[in-house]
Amino acid sequence: MIKMLVVDDELDVCDFVKNFFEERNYTVFTALNGEDALRITKTQKPNIILLDIRMKRMDGIETLRKIREIDKNVDVVMVTAVEDEDKMVAARKLDAKDYITKPLVLEELEHTVYERSKGLR
């Protein structure tokens, strides 16, 4: 089974995405901040991470940088409410595989995650 980690400081976003993908037979973990995301990445070893760029304390870019120290190969998809080209360039340099924008569109989200997880099935 594919393991996914959803990292967003908005609880409703985490719950929404978790419920959506659990219905599609993914195992889904959630984290409301970068510190929790790092802990879950170490212990659960997700295959795919959906990572919000703008979070309090540790933003998504810093979280991604630290995730790469733990796992260089995990597929990370950045999630952003505002397209910020500088942040996306930084994310790509850290090997983020894709990005999607908020508000989340279920079809786009499902397609992006499905494309990332094809080789994992």
pLDDT tens for each residue of 86-97: 888 889 898 998
**Token pair in block for residue 58:** 């540790």
The predicted-structure confidence for 42-81, as pLDDT tens digits, reads as follows 999 999 999 999 998 899 999 999 999 999 999 999 998 8
pLDDT band at 121 (very low <50, low <70, confident <90, very high): low
- pLDDT tens digits, 95-111: 998 889 888 998 999 99
Q: What is the pTM of this model?
A: 0.93
Return the ∠ at Cα 118 (arms to 36 and 13), rounded to 5°.
35
Q: Which residue would you say has higher pLDDT here, 116 or 30?
A: 30
Distance CA 47, CA 45 (A): 7
**Strand order of the sheet with strand 3-7?**
27-31, 3-7, 48-52, 75-80, 98-101
Task: Sort residue 93 into left (φ over 0), alpha (ψ -120 to 50) or beta.
Answer: alpha
